[in-house]
């Protein structure tokens, strides 16, 4: 606001509060009342006489996402001038960044102890009252210095502490030592001694974390026993919950570590000290509260008398006791108004950090007071508020000293238990940054060590070391072993080096032999899949996700004379079968090893050779989409220009690799050898193994890809030029999307084509290059294919030239085929999605109409069950209120009207009644003529609300008919007779054709008798309904009618319902009078009356 406005008018500001539920440290139920105590103090001290403070309250539940979202909402929607909370580390850090952006002052409290919040360059608008865990580490360091200890260990557990000990451990590591490692479970090894940041010789030997899962008492004792050889002074951080501290102390006793040599410090930024809480009751920490009945309470007490606590928890006093009572009492006051939920016994004890909430709000008032005095235009600026918060005051969390950077200089207290088991303060430690001052409270140090031998302070390192093996030694003990050991080491070293050399030689030989046998595939390891599910699960392990429906599953593949499909080592493989069995020579084995090592993106992986089965088989990796010939034949994918380029590029890349490898050439290239994997990458298969293929008989169809010069010479080994010719034939298949040589549309048979190829000549036969529909192929690619099948092998380009030419044809564009496939799929999916959305919208609209109609006929709960196909069983209700009404002298009125006028009269009247029912928790069962039946309390149970809802609805009915006019009988007045009864009832759906939701029971009959024995213009109540109404809702006025003889019931005492003091005649609160919708029956009735009066 401008300066003039701030000074001239009263200021109203909003303050945002973020709480979490059910937390004994900072819970809303037992902490929020402290804010009202702070407001009382602000008013008493006249800090902000011209400022009105409003609370904006929400709950982040210590969740980072909720804290961030609610913080932005408070700032942007509610225009808060400051935010107090959250109370946990991660949410506080996130909201700190957001409040920085909006320049809003921010006060985290409670469990938010992370050192990150103290970074003034990162959070310049944050005012911190929490004594952080880094300051706790400084206090621990000062305590160690005070007692002259230089070596200690840190033991902690993150179980059940909400991140408390993890933050302590992190800040101790950051502020105490250079980066060190933490060891868990059996990894308890001492760390290298490091120089601390405090320039003295106090050092942390190691950090040990207890496991984050439940372990037995014996296992805990075993782990603790390992610590004996590491330290004697221990800093501990454990949760106050679940009796963890008591169990830990008993484990120390059983491990023999609770004697005069050991000292333990509980370093805890938020603890209740030597008491624990369960179900709202505070108990001494050594008392068993969890039913173990181990009878060791006294033993645990003696253990705790040897423990010390360093915490920010100040001792209780009379004033503080009164403050705690007020915290739990004030939660019931506005604006919190927490009565029922907060009355639970577990919230009788105030939150540990309720005092910090009080001090945060009071500190903000102090800072705002100074800001309005110095620079009122800056009263919403976070940095200005932070600077004006510096100072000192006495709060309920102790003396609060705020530095100019918005951080608190805390005071910690070192305490222990005295001989009587009462908490005794040994001293206080005032911390300011990385410095601290210890102020002793004891008269003599012997008072501290009263339960130790000689009242002497323990040593941090025993005289003979942690394991008793460091006592002073004689010369012989110290040096004789070294001399003898040196001699032994020389001898052992020689033997060791010799053993290593022998070991490596043998290992190398075995590795060579093993690598030489990797290609040998036993036939027993080749398993035929027995079920489709099993095969597909095996394939899915190695194949990855499917992208289109053209993927060929292994189940769709059947074994043939040439190929079989197996599972080997949980991997699907293809076996090429051979009719002849060939003896393997050493050069053949060498080729197997070489094939096994080939790895290329466009070559299918050779797995090995199976020679011990019924047939010799070469084993290859399975490609899920089958061969390129299969893909073309199925025709389920659109082979556009980019697809063709990608396929040909993959094939020539594979050929180029073969041509530059020891294989020299493929020799049998065809579209059947080009396999397609799940990523649409083409991989050339069935290369090498010429020494096996030379014994196999070739089919005529297989020769359609063979170069003419090899056909003439019957050469089965092939050449590089022959591979280029085969590549051209495959390319013609891809471009034309046809079979090889388009045999289906040619008159020549394969034998005739082979004969013409052998004959050769200047106009030798070649496939016809026909482009598919909508194909935009670069003409240069067609010329390249014709060059590749040139009759003269020497005129054909080599694989390197073809790679370069293909790359030049596609320069400047993406080479990723999967991206192209996904784009095609997305375009199709988009059009399909639009159509589905349109159909879905139509379906939803029709469903809404049917649901509205069904819900008008039956209760919503019953209708929902019927829609799900469930049977609706009759249901018994313990207490409901039933309503019957009847139009008085309806027969006389009907005699004065035509049938159509009677129908219109009842429609207008009941439509008006239906509108009233919609405003109450009641269900209209049925109307029979001029009779009207309603019920509340079923099928939706509403406690005792049903009697209030029916009575309020009845009063509204009576008020409505006073103004209801009959258009064709303006002088006649509608009058009602209403009966109400409360009691048990059974309800259910009756019939399948035009089903009805009906009520059964004596309660229904009695309600009907109340109506028939009532008087016009009166609401007749049974005794049961009246008793429940007067007991639960005393605002309703009733009047005894006396005893009445009821047919079938005898003499009954009944009552009249007169009205409701809390409502007007229309049954609504006076502050919100009823309004009529333009389409309501009552509104139309008033319109007709107005028109008649004008006429």
pLDDT tens column, 743-783? 888 888 888 888 888 888 777 888 888 776 666 778 888 89
Per-residue model confidence (pLDDT) at position 843: 79
pLDDT at 407: 86
Taking alpha carbons only, the member of 135, 121, 175 closest to residue 406 is 121
Tell me the percentage of the chain whose pLDDT exceeds 70. 82
Separation CA 31–CA 358 (nearest Å) = 9
Greatest mean pLDDT among 492-496, 734-738, 961-965: 492-496
pLDDT at res. 735: 87
Does residue 269 contact residue 278 with C-beta atoms inside 8 Å?
Answer: no
Which of 506-510, 548-552, 857-861, 984-988 is predicted most confidently? 984-988
For 334, the token pair is 């506005």
Residues contacting residue 988 through CB under 8 Å, at least 6 positions apart: 872, 873, 874, 875, 997, 998, 1000
Average pLDDT, the chain: 81
How many Cβ atoms sit within 10 Å of the Cβ of residue 962? 12
pLDDT at 950: 92
> What are 127-154's pLDDT values in tens digits?
988 877 778 888 888 888 888 888 888 8
Record the tokens describing residue 227, joined without a space: 């610590």
Mean pLDDT of 909-916: 85
Task: Report residue 866's pLDDT band, with 50, 70 and 90 as the boundaries.
Answer: low
CA distance 20 to 28: 6
Helix, strand, coil share of the chain (percent; to 5)? 45, 20, 40
Q: Which pLDDT belongs to residue 219?
A: 85
Look at residue 330 in the predicted model and tell me its pLDDT: 92
Distance CA 608, CA 593 (A): 9
Distance CA 594, CA 172 (A): 58
Which of 172-181, 499-508, 808-817, 960-969 has the largest mean confidence?
A: 499-508
pLDDT digits (tens, 9 = 90+) for 694-742: 888 888 888 999 999 999 888 888 899 999 999 999 999 888 888 888 8
**pLDDT at residue number 536:** 42
For residue range 817-857, what is the model confidence (pLDDT) as tens digits? 666 677 767 766 777 777 788 878 877 777 777 666 665 56
Q: Which residues contact 666 (CB under 8 A, 6 or more apart)?
A: 655, 658, 673, 684, 687, 718, 723, 726
Q: What is the pLDDT of residue 185?
A: 32
pLDDT of residue 906: 83
pLDDT at 177: 47
φ, ψ for residue 909 (rounded to 5)? -65, -45
User: Given the structure tokens 């008269």, which residue do they identify?
Assistant: 443
> At 472, is the secondary structure helix, strand, or coil?
coil
pLDDT at position 217: 83
The pLDDT score that the predictor gives to residue 191 is 27
Residues 192-251 pLDDT 10s: 222 244 445 666 767 777 775 667 888 888 888 888 888 889 988 887 777 788 888 888
Of 266, 445, 328, the C-alpha closest to 30 is: 328
Least confident stretch, 249-258, 316-325, 357-366, 528-537: 528-537
Mean pLDDT on 298-314: 84
Q: Which of 84-98, 284-298, 630-644 has the highest mean pLDDT?
A: 84-98
Higher pLDDT, 547 or 363: 363
Phi, psi of 285 (to 5 degrees): -65, -25
Average pLDDT over residues 374-396: 91
Residue 981 has pLDDT above 50, yes or no: yes
Contact predicate 791/760, CB 8 Å: yes
Q: How confident is the model at residue 1073 (pLDDT cuts 50, 70, 90)?
A: very low
Strand pairing report for 391-395 and 307-311: unpaired
pLDDT at 550 over 50: no
pLDDT of residue 513: 73
Q: What is the mean pLDDT of residues 547-572?
A: 70
- 3-state SS string over 168-215? HHHHHHHHHCCCCCCEECCCCCCCCCCCCCCCCCCEEEEEEECCCCCC
In this predicted structure, what is the pLDDT of residue 1062? Answer: 73
Considering only residues 1071 and 723, tell me which one the structure prediction assigns the higher pLDDT.
723
Three-state DSSP state, 415: strand
Residue 95: band (very low, low, confident or very high) from pLDDT cuts 50, 70, 90: very high
The pLDDT of residue 549: 40
Per-residue pLDDT, 661: 92
Distance CA 585, CA 1032 (A): 102
Q: CA–CA distance from 789 to each of 585, 706, 720, 794, 942 (Å)? A: 36, 10, 13, 11, 88
- List, in sequence order, every residue forming a beta bridge with 928; answer none if it has no partner: 931
The mean pLDDT of 251-263, rounded to a whole number, is 88
Residues contacting 418, CB < 8 A, separation 6+: 305, 424, 450
Per-residue confidence band for 181, with pLDDT thresholds at 50, 70 and 90:
very low
The number of helices, as runs of H, and strands, as runs of E, in the chain is 32, 33
What's the Cα-to-Cα distance from 158 to each of 168, 244, 643, rounded to whole Å? 10, 11, 57
pLDDT at 509: 78
C-alpha to C-alpha distance for 726 and 667, rounded to whole angstroms: 9
Least confident of 268-272, 434-438, 632-636: 268-272
| Residue range 673-700, pLDDT digits in tens | 999 988 889 999 999 998 888 888 888 8
Give the residue among 20, 28, 30 at the shortest CA–CA distance from 282. 30
Q: How far is it, in rounded angstroms, from Cα 815 to Cα 403?
A: 62
Q: Helix, strand or coil for residue 624? A: coil
Q: Which two tokens stand for residue 157?
A: 């557990």
Locate tokens 């000062």: which residue? 142
What SS3 state is found at 539? Answer: helix
């Amino acid at each position: 606001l401008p300066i003039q406005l701030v000074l001239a008018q009263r200021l109203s500001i909003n303050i945002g509060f973020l709480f979490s539920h059910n937390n004994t440290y900072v819970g809303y139920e037992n902490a929020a009342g402290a804010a009202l105590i702070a407001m009382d103090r602000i008013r008493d001290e006249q800090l902000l006489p011209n400022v009105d403070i409003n609370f904006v309250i929400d709950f982040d539940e210590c969740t980072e996402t909720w804290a961030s979202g609610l913080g932005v909402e408070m700032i942007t929607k509610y225009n808060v001038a400051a935010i107090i909370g959250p109370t946990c580390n991660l949410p506080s850090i996130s909201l700190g960044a957001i409040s920085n952006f909006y320049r809003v002052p921010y006060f985290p409290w409670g469990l938010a102890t992370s050192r990150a919040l103290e970074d003034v360059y990162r959070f310049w608008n944050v005012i911190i009252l929490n004594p952080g865990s880094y300051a706790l580490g400084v206090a621990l360091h000062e305590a160690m210095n005070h007692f002259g200890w230089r070596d200690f260990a840190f033991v902690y557990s993150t179980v059940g502490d909400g991140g408390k000990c993890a933050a302590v451990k992190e800040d101790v590591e950051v502020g105490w030592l250079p980066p060190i490692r933490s060891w868990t479970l059996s990894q308890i090894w001492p760390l290298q001694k490091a120089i601390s940041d405090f320039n003295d010789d106090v050092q942390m030997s190691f950090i040990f974390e207890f496991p984050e899962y439940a372990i037995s008492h014996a296992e805990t004792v075993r782990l603790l026993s390992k610590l004996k050889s590491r330290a004697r002074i221990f800093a501990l951080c454990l949760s106050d919950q679940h009796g963890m501290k008591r169990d830990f102390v008993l484990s120390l006793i059983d491990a023999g570590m609770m004697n005069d040599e050991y000292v333990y410090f509980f370093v805890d930024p938020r603890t209740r000290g030597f008491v624990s809480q369960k179900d709202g009751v505070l108990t001494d920490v050594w008392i068993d509260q969890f039913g173990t009945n181990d009878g060791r309470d006294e033993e645990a007490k003696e253990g705790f008398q040897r423990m010390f606590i360093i915490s920010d928890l100040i001792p209780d006093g009379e004033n503080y006791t009164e403050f705690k009572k007020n915290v739990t009492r004030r939660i019931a006051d506005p604006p919190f108004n927490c009565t029922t939920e907060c009355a639970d016994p577990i919230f009788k004890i105030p939150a540990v950090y309720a005092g910090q909430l009080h001090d945060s709000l009071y500190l903000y008032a102090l800072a705002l007071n100074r800001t309005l005095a110095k620079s009122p235009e800056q009263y919403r600026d976070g940095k200005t508020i932070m600077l004006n918060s510096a100072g000192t005051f006495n709060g309920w969390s102790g003396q609060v000293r705020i530095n100019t950077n918005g951080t608190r200089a805390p005071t910690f207290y070192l305490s222990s238990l005295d001989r009587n088991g009462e908490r005794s303060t040994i001293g206080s430690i005032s911390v300011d940054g990385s410095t601290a001052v210890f102020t002793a409270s004891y008269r003599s140090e012997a008072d501290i060590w009263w339960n130790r031998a000689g009242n002497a302070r323990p040593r941090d390192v025993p005289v003979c070391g942690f394991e008793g093996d460091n006592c002073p030694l004689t010369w012989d003990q110290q040096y004789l072993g070294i001399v003898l050991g040196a001699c032994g080491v020389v001898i052992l070293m020689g033997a060791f080096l010799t053993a290593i050399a022998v070991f490596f030689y043998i290992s190398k030989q075995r590795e060579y032999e093993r690598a030489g046998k990797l290609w040998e595939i036993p036939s027993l390891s080749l398993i035929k899949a027995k079920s489709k599910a099993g095969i597909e699960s095996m394939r899915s392990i190695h194949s990855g996700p499917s992208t289109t429906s053209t993927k060929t599953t292994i189940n769709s593949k059947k074994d043939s004379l040439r190929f079989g499909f197996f599972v080997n080592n949980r991997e699907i493989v293809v076996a090429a079968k051979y009719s002849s069995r060939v003896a393997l020579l050493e050069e053949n084995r060498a080729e197997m090893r070489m094939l096994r090592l080939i790895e290329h993106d466009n070559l299918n992986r050779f797995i090995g050779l199976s020679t011990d089965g019924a047939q010799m088989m070469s084993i290859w990796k399975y490609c899920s989409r089958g061969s390129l010939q299969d893909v073309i034949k199925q025709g389920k994918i659109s082979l556009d220009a980019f697809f063709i380029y990608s396929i040909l590029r993959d094939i020539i890349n594979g050929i180029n690799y073969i041509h530059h490898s020891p294989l020299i050439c493929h020799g049998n290239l065809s579209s059947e050898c080009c396999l397609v994997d799940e990523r649409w990458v083409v991989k050339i298969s069935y290369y090498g193994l010429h020494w096996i293929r030379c014994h196999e008989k070739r089919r005529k169809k297989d020769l359609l890809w063979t170069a003419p010069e090899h056909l003439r010479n019957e050469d089965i080994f092939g050449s590089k030029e022959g591979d280029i010719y085969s590549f051209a034939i495959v390319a013609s298949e891809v471009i034309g999307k046809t079979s090889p040589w388009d045999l289906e549309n040619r008159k020549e048979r394969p034998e005739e084509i082979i004969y013409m190829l052998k004959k050769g000549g200047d106009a030798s036969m070649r496939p016809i290059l026909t482009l598919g529909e909508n194909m935009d192929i670069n003409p240069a690619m067609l010329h390249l294919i014709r060059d590749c099948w040139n009759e003269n092998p020497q005129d054909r380009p080599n694989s390197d030239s073809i790679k370069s030419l293909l790359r030049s044809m596609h320069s400047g564009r993406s080479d990723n085929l999967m991206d192209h496939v996904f784009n095609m799929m997305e375009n199709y999916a988009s059009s399909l999605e639009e159509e589905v959305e349109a159909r879905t919208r139509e379906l939803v609209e029709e469903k809404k109409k049917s649901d509205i109609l069904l819900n008008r006929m039956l209760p919503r709960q019953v209708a929902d069950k019927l829609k799900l196909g469930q049977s609706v069983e009759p249901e018994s209700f313990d207490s409901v209120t039933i309503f019957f009404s009847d139009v008085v002298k309806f027969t006389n009125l009907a005699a004065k009207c035509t049938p159509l006028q009677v129908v219109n009269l009842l429609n207008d009247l009941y439509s008006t009644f239906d509108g009233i029912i919609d405003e109450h928790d009641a269900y209209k069962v049925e109307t029979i003529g001029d009779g009207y039946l309603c019920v509340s309390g079923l099928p939706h149970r509403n406690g005792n609300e049903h009697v209030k809802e029916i009575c309020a609805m009845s009063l509204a009915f009576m008020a409505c008919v006073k103004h209801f006019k009959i258009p064709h009988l303006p002088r006649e007045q509608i009058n009602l007779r209403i009966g109400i009864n409360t009691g048990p009832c059974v309800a259910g759906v009756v019939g399948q054709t035009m089903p009805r939701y009906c009520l059964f029971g004596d309660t229904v009959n009695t309600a009907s008798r109340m109506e028939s024995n009532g008087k016009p213009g009166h609401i007749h109540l049974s005794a049961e309904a009246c008793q429940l109404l007067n007991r639960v809702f005393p605002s309703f006025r009733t009047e005894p009618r006396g005893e009445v003889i009821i047919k079938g019931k005898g003499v009954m005492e009944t009552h009249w319902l007169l009205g409701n003091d809390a409502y007007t005649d229309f049954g609504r609160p006076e502050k919100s009078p009823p309004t009529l919708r333009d389409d309501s029956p009552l509104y139309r009735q008033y319109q007709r009356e107005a028109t008649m009066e004008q006429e």
